[in-house]
Structures are given as C-alpha cells and as structure tokens.
Structure 1
C-alpha cells in the first residue's frame, strides 16, 4: 500500500484559500490645497487592490474610500503621496451627538456640521447622572386635571 499512498499524493489537489477582506468604508482627513494634491491622492488610492469607489472633498479635507481594503494600507498609501499629517477621520456629524459642546468635542478646525468624536459627547448610562424625565409621569391617571408641570 505504500506505492498507492505515494501516487495518491500526486492526484489530490490542495488549494489554499485566502481570507477575503470585508467591504468597508475608510474616511481619512488629509489637507489638500490644489488640484494637483487632490489628483495625486485620488490616483494613489484608486490604484489600491480592492477599491470600489473614491470620493475626494477638498473643502472638507476628506477622502472616502469604499471597497475590500485594509484601512491601514489606505492611510499608508495616502501618506506616501507626501501628506504625512493624514489621519483617520476624527469627526462625527453634529446632529448625531447629544452634547456637541462638551469639552473636547467642539473643534474650530472641524468642517461645519461636524464635531470631534469623543466619549464626553455621548450620554453615559453607567454614571450617577439623573435619569431622563419620562413625560408620562408628569400627568396623573387619578386626576386628569392635575398637572405636575404647573
């Protein structure tokens, strides 16, 4: 049986499967002053393997890349164009935050309508903060004409 086992090794096909990256969106803050900077960043990111779409917004200093990519590789590729101060997008939209003027959340350099993504801007349910008032508790079911607001 030794010869049959030896020959069966030649007949079996072994394939190694690579793990596919998940589809994701990477947002990067990079300052672009002119059309040349914008074109260089767009061309560098578009040439990455797995990129489906690239959106460049020079006014907001923002690059949005969608595809099957690694976020760190996208950031590294943007930095290779000479934009060494590029970083991941640190902002969230202002209407998504409960406390947009919390310490550390408001940033003068943020584009209009955005604030910095910090923990203090979101409500903390684990602290000893007073609970939110429930509007149904202002009125009494026993006496419908009595109101606790007045």
Structure 2
C-alpha cells in the first residue's frame, strides 16, 4: 500500500468478509489490523492474497502448520492381473472392450483375446468394481476367471500345488434376460383359472 486510495480499497474489501467488525489500515507500516469475534484469520488472509497481493502474511494469530507428514504414508496398492471371461463375437467388440477398459482409472494395460473370449486387465483395480464398470459402460456380462498379483514372487513352493482359497474369487451375476423374450398370452388357456369363460 502506498496511498490513501489503496488504504480505502483494502478496508472496503475486508469489511465485506463475514464476521469482521473493525478494520484499521496503517499504510505507513504496511499493516492491516482486523477485529471481529467470528472472523476467520485464514479467510481474511486468503481474501487479501486473492484480491491484492500474494505477498500478504498473517502475523497474529500464527497459522497452524499443516500436517502433510500424516497424509503421506498411504498404503500402496499392488498391481493385479485379472483375467475376465466375456462374450466377444467380432474384432470390433474386442477393440471396444479394450478402449473402454483403458479409460478406467488404475488400469495399466488391457489385452483382449477374441478366440478364447478372455480379457486380461493389468493395473491397480478392484475386481468387483471392474465388473460393475464393464456392466455399466458396455452392458456386457463378465466373470472373473483368474486373479493374481502383478509381480510374482519366487516359486519356492513348486511341490505345493494346492490352490489358496482366498485367491480363487469368482463373482457371478445373474444372467440378463432380454426384453425380446415375452411369454405368450394365456387368456384362453386351460392352465389359467382366471381366464374368460365366454368365447
């Protein structure tokens, strides 16, 4: 601030903030004193920085340091390889499936094999959410055939061929019935006891 005009602009700007009762501007010392019982100091500072100067600082009360350290240690999700069984009758279907699945968040790569009707998805994805995404976006029924971690560990247990029951998750949805299959009218059928008896 270097003049009376700047002083009045800053005072007018801050009086519009909710909770401020009094604004005193000292442009000689480059300070603004804001008083108010319900005034939020961080909102006042944000408004000043947005309107006039990004160099504005909060002198009192001191802002609390942000706890960025607590937010950083997040659990890293592992890359999974999920093999899906889907009906594909042409190369166009395979390309559409690949195109839509590559758009999904967390998917790294998609391989569609039309001959075996299998789609291999590699990425940080939740298999049930992947099935829901396919059903919603493509309207196709999909089943999880195999699910494994992306980075395989050393094969120390070659003799042990027992399958882990936790890894063999198969999610099945009831079949979708098309609206084209309509049952015939049973108005004059002997099986219908409520049918019209007058013909």
TM-score, reference length from structure 1: 0.49
More RCO (CA 8 Å, sep 6+): 1
Greater C-alpha Rg = 2
